[in-house]
Structure 1
Amino acid sequence: SVHSHSGTPTAARVSDGRRRRGWERLRQRRRGAWPGALEETTQDLQMSFAKKLQTHRPQSWSALPSDLAGLVLRRLPSHADHVRFADVCHHWRFSRQEHCLPPPLPWLAFPDGTFFGLPCREGAKESFKLHSSANYCISCGDWLAFAQNGTCFLMDPFSEITLTLPNLSSFCLVDEPVGIINGRDVLDEDMSGSLLQMDTAISLRKVIRCSELVVAAIVEIGPLRTVAYCQPGSTSWLVSELGSIGSVIDMMFYEGMLYVIDEFNDLLAINVREDNDNGKLRVSWIERLLDGAPCVLKLIQGGISYFESYLVESHGALLLVQRTIFGECDNNTIGGIKPVGIEFEVCQPDFQSRSWVKVSSVG
């Protein structure tokens, strides 16, 4: 073998040098001190990614198939999530309208446009605010009713679709067979007519959109509380004389029919439709289905009780809810009455016996 002057073999020195340079290069690469190699690796990755994009270009989220959108919607627990889903794009909004989802739980709507949902997802409370919903006067299903300086309109706070209603100072009697409701005559036949001649405006108590052509409302005109109808975009409210028989307390549009309860808790069914001849609304028939539910007077010592009745729908059934609020006289409370208790009773209709039947469960 060939030796150097120092006596160390030349081949061994060369091998050791290569090994040291290899370790140094590896340490530099780990420290990021080899920019050329890093640059080369990055360029390779970018080129590879670009090729994949060219061969497998991803679709837009707006192209999410409707059946998959339905699966997503059914897993969203609250109505607020459904609203947010529909706000993403037109395609997702159409998907939400296309799928039949379970009805949402009611929301509490406050005058400033704030909505509070009932607790869900392990007690979590949800809320959101729609500034366009502030200062409404009544909520009615998916709609909010606005009444300002006599003008009146309905608005869907989510889609902001608006329906113009007649001015509150413009009204007349509706064409209806009031005098033949199950053979029961109208009391004080001229009462409604005289009130309608008064220089006054009606005030809204409740509004329901029955269909695209019919909006019904409980209105007050002086001492008369009755039902009025209109068509969106029309110029006048059509007032019923039902309030002359007994003040209308509540109403509900149920299975294609308008149901009303009066102060005696009598249940009446009303069929309102558009006249084929002139296109105006008319009441084709009114039928009294049930006699009033018996009200048991409940008193507390040194206090008073206040009753209210409501029509509600639960699991497809029409129910009457009677609420009793108990109060005590208290001069330190606004109104002089301090609420101390509340009770609810629920009745369902028995059409064979023409009476309300109390129930202890709604399923």
Structure 2
Amino acid sequence: MAPGRRPTLKDVARLAEVSHQTVSRFVSGDPAIRQANRDRIQAAIDELGYRPNIVARSMRMRRKGLLSVVAPATTAPHTPAKMMSATTAEAHAFGYEVEVVHVAGGASARTNRALELADSGWVEGVLSLATFDERVGPGTRPGGVPIIEFAVYDDQLHGAGIMLDASPMIEIVGRLAELGHRDFFHVGGPVGHPASDERFAVYDRAVSARGLTSHGSARGPFDGSTGVEAIEALPIDSPVTAVVCANDELAAGVLLGASRRGWSVPGRLSVTGWDNRQVGKYMPPGLTTVIVDHETVGRTAMGTLIAALRGEPAPVADFRELNTVVWRGSVGPRP
């Protein structure tokens, strides 16, 4: 077998010294195959690294009009439901069904699975929302099946690429400054989390650029406890009047911490979040936040795959307004 070529069913048959029909029956789960042949076939599969499972499934199902979306497997509490919904809706609009395949591991594991899916005859196209390795590039079409990379997540399903845009921090800091605020504090997610790091970096630059004062940053889990602890740790005579948070859960914790200390919002503190969680607009006095347009990203990603299937140019989307600040009652003038 040539170096770099993926093993085929016939390669397994040749190494195991059986017919390819026997290998086909093996991967289909035929119990009538003799044990000696089963052992040789399994040994050949292990030696070659052949992956028969999806092939066997495709042989049983023989589905058409099906597209696969490959995404990293994760144990994170938040999954990209809005983006997946938009991706699926775009496929449905063109008459396709979608199956989402969550793959543990990094780019190599995703590439293996994408190539396996393309080889199976089970799907008509494969879209990955995270990077592939060097085996997949523009125009990769094994067996005529397009494989498209539209990388908006990393291996942990954290935002990547265009999803890291933190430019709304500039607008948030600017508006707060216009309202008279001069003393800021930041509450963010874990250090090392890409989006959390980027939002803090842009916040910090925006504060410095306007000659304002940042009295530090509290970083921790992306949940309310980080926000509560951050506010409870501020001195009673803290000059901070504006708290800028990296997501809405953190901001909810800030609101609770302020309430426990008897600090009104926005009378004593102005507070902002990010992500536009639905509950935010119902938390008194209404949380100022950032809407992230996951739907446009999802539609564009699937549209790129569909364009490849139809031999058309990929859609061009303007992501400069991917994020929009929504001003609500949690922001007011400096006290």
TM-score range, shorter chain: under 0.3
Q: Which structure's residues are more often helix, by fraction?
A: 2
TM-score when normalising by structure 1: 0.22
Greater radius of gyration (CA) = 1
Determine which structure has greater relative contact order: mean sequence separation of CA pairs < 8 Å that are 6+ residues apart, divided by chain length: 2
Higher strand residue share:
1
TM-score by length of 2: 0.24
